[in-house]
């Protein structure tokens, strides 16, 4: 009986760790939707939804609704230093011409395209959207040398 109890405790601890990791990646803007988590981890939609509910994490579902209501206690807490590091990396990718579209930057950085677009907008990086238009208008300040 003791072995089963230990197994249950171990299983619950792993589950709690996965929920904490889900929260951390949600705060880091790595995950915005249930689909982001499923695509990145391979866990099922049902499992991710359960963890989001149990962890009170307001991921967005396929109906564009949050799994749990957004409250002061569960809203995203962004580490601004880490966000700036990501934006700097995005800026470097774009201006060095390693990736110039939101999709290619998302692939290289392994973040959702929606997050990449938000970062580009915040830093006025004229990444190209899927429709071929830049996220922000080209100006003398943000125009890359290679244009």
83 inside domain: yes
Q: Residue 139 has what pLDDT?
A: 93
2 inside domain: yes
**Residues of the domain holding 127:** 79-146
Q: What is the pLDDT of residues 8-42, one digit of tens each?
A: 556 789 999 999 999 999 999 999 999 999 999 99
Q: What is the pLDDT of residues 70-98, one digit of tens each?
A: 999 999 999 999 999 999 999 999 999 99
74 inside domain: no
Q: Using alpha carbons, select from 116, 84, 85 the residue that is nearest to residue 100.
A: 116
Q: What is the pLDDT of residues 104-125, one digit of tens each?
A: 999 999 999 999 999 999 999 9
Instruction: Please return the burial class of 108, using the count of CB atoms within 10 Å of its CB with bins 0-12, 13-18 and 19+.
Output: middle
> For the whole model, what pTM was predicted?
0.87
Q: Using alpha carbons, select from 54, 122, 39 the residue that is nearest to residue 88.
A: 122
């Amino acid at each position: 009986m003791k072995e089963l109890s230990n197994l249950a405790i171990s299983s619950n601890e792993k589950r709690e760790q996965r929920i904490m990791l889900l929260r951390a990646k949600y705060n880091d803007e790595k995950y915005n939707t249930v689909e982001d988590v499923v695509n990145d981890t391979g866990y099922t939609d049902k499992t991710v939804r359960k963890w989001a509910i149990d962890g009170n994490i307001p991921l967005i579902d396929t109906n564009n609704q949050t799994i749990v209501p957004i409250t002061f206690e569960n809203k995203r807490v962004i580490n601004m230093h880490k966000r700036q590091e990501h934006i700097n990396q995005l800026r470097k990718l774009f201006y060095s011409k390693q990736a110039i579209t939101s999709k290619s930057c998302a692939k290289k950085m392994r973040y959702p395209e929606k997050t990449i677009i938000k970062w580009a907008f915040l830093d006025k990086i004229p990444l190209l959207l899927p429709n071929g238009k830049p996220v922000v208008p080209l100006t003398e300040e943000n125009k890359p040398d290679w244009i």
